[in-house]
């Protein structure tokens, strides 16, 4: 992992087959947006759209647009309603039309300023606008800084399920300013730890030591984000487009979690809250069907509780609805379930031995 020092930004470099890019983690980076774009990714166009949402725009929009404007960029700010409902084809079309009306073309670029919804939505807009323009990700939540801004997965939801419409479109640069995390309400701050705990579970058991130090966690955000970005980068470098099975490990907890998120109706659960429930189920299935010890399973679930993440499912969300949503998930191939199980903390594998009956039972146990 890159060395974390006081005050200096940390650089994580991704080296992919066709796309190399940098993730910068540190404090005070929003005011350096233009400088970082010019020095780290070589974008020469002066026309840029900054896509953000109604929560983030009042908090951080001015700092980013001022940085770009002072450096001579022609900036178009596009604001969408906050929330999962904005991850739709209709909203993507609206963003692209605003870019066209503002005079952006195939030489322009886009900045995605916000959490996971904005990263996915704006990244997808960049992927399809004029057949693809560069995108710079500026994630402002725990979830987006440690996970969704890195790796190039972009997309929107369909009524049939989450993230079913999208494209791989790697960013040219990721700017993770930890100062933005200070503006998050506790619920939104805590939800990001579902993805952090997932990373620890599949790749870095020692990361749990940092997670369990709850009282000092805000003092260690640069290290926390950097360690998670390094984990995600390593997996993406090994399997950029999910062709070898390595990247599928990042789906630990997501098969059932996405089903719960869809069945609950988008907006009932924050993403990390639904994933927390999926992690509980996947952890218990790992203890029953793999070599994960019960002590390690209990430790993982206790970490979720430490951040007030849900570990029990409400009775009004029907198991049949969860299973139906799961059937449409991308983690099914030819109707066959590809389910990630833990061997031990820090080690996971993809199993084809988990049946629909097992999943049904585990969902019921969640209640």
Q: Which of 46, 66, 242, 344 is catalytic?
A: 242
- Annotated active-site residue 131? The verdict is yes
Strand duo 109-114 + 135-139: pairing: parallel
Pair 193, 227: CB distance under 8 Å: no
Residues 197 and 146: their CA atoms lie apart, in Å, by 11
Catalytic residue status for 227: no
Q: Choosing from 172, 232, 284, 331, which is the catalytic residue? A: 232
The DSSP call for residue 165 is E
What whole-number distance in Å separates Cα of residue 310 and Cα of residue 122?
Answer: 29
Give catalytic status of residue 242 as yes or no: yes
Q: Is 106 among the residues known to form the active site?
A: no
Nearest to 94 by CA among 59, 68, 120, 129: 129
Q: Annotated catalytic residue: which of 40, 251, 261, 331?
A: 251
Q: Which of 191, 195, 273, 362 is catalytic?
A: 195
Q: Are 142 and 119 a contacting pair, CB within 8 Å?
A: no
Question: Catalytic site residue 195?
Answer: yes
- Residue 280 φ then ψ, to 5°: -60, -50
The reply to whether 188 belongs to the active site is: no
Residue pair 128/156 in contact (Cβ under 8 Å)? The answer is: no
DSSP, res 3? P
Catalytic member of 153, 203, 227, 330: 153
Cα 114 from chain centroid (whole Å): 11
Q: Could you confirm whether 251 is annotated as catalytic?
A: yes
Tokens 């399920």 correspond to 161
Catalytic choice (254, 284, 330, 331) = 254
| Distance of alpha carbon 259 from alpha carbon 124, whole angstroms | 22
Catalytic residue list contains 305: no
Q: Pick the catalytic residue from 91, 172, 271, 331.
A: 271
- Residue 232: closest CA among 265, 204, 262, 260: 204
User: Which three-class secondary structure state does DSSP give residue 88?
Assistant: coil
Q: How do the residues of the chain divide into helix, strand and coil, expressed in percent and rounded to 5?
A: 50, 20, 30
Q: Is residue 4 packed enough to be buried (19+ CB in 10 Å), middle (13-18) or exposed (0-12)? A: middle
DSSP string computed for 90-125: HHHHHHHHHHHHTT--TT-EEEEEESHHHHHHHHHH
State the catalytic residue, choosing from 6, 17, 131, 357.
131
Tell me the C-alpha distance between 317 and 236, whole Å. 34
The residues annotated as belonging to the active site are 131, 153, 195, 232, 242, 247, 251, 254, 258, 271
């Amino acid at each position: 992992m890159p060395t974390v020092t006081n005050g200096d930004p940390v650089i994580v470099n991704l080296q992919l087959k066709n796309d190399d890019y940098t993730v910068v983690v540190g404090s005070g980076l929003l005011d350096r947006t233009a400088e970082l774009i010019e020095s780290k990714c070589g974008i020469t166009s002066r026309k840029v759209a900054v896509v953000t949402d109604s929560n983030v725009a009042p908090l951080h929009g001015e700092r980013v647009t001022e940085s770009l404007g002072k450096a001579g960029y022609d900036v178009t700010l596009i604001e969408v309603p906050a929330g999962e409902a904005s991850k739709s084809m209709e909203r993507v079309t609206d963003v692209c039309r605003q870019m066209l009306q503002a005079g952006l073309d195939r030489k322009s670029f886009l900045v995605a300023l916000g959490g996971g919804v904005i990263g996915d939505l704006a990244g997808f807009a960049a992927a399809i606008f004029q057949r693809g323009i560069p995108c710079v990700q500026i994630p402002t939540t725990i979830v987006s800084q440690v996970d969704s801004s890195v790796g190039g997965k972009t997309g929107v939801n369909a009524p049939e399920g989450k993230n079913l419409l999208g494209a791989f479109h790697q960013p040219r640069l990721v700017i993770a300013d930890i100062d933005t995390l200070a503006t998050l309400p506790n619920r939104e701050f805590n939800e990001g730890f579902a993805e952090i705990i997932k990373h620890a579970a599949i790749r870095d058991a020692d990361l749990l030591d940092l997670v369990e130090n709850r009282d000092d966690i805000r003092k260690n955000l640069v290290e926390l984000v950097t360690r998670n970005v390094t984990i995600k980068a390593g997996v993406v470098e090994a399997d950029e487009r999910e062709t070898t099975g390595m990247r599928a490990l990042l789906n630990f907890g997501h098969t059932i979690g996405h089903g719960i998120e869809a069945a609950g109706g988008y907006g009932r659960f924050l993403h990390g809250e639904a994933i927390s429930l999926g992690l509980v189920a996947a952890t218990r299935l790992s203890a029953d069907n793999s070599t994960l010890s019960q002590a390690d399973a209990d430790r993982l679930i206790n970490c979720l509780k430490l951040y007030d993440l849900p570990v029990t499912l409400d009775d009004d969300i029907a198991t049949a609805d969860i299973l139906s949503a799961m059937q449409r998930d991308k983690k099914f191939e030819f109707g066959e379930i590809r389910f990630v199980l833990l061997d031990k903390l820090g080690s996971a594998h993809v199993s084809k031995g988990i049946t629909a009956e097992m999943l049904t039972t585990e969902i019921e146990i969640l209640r």
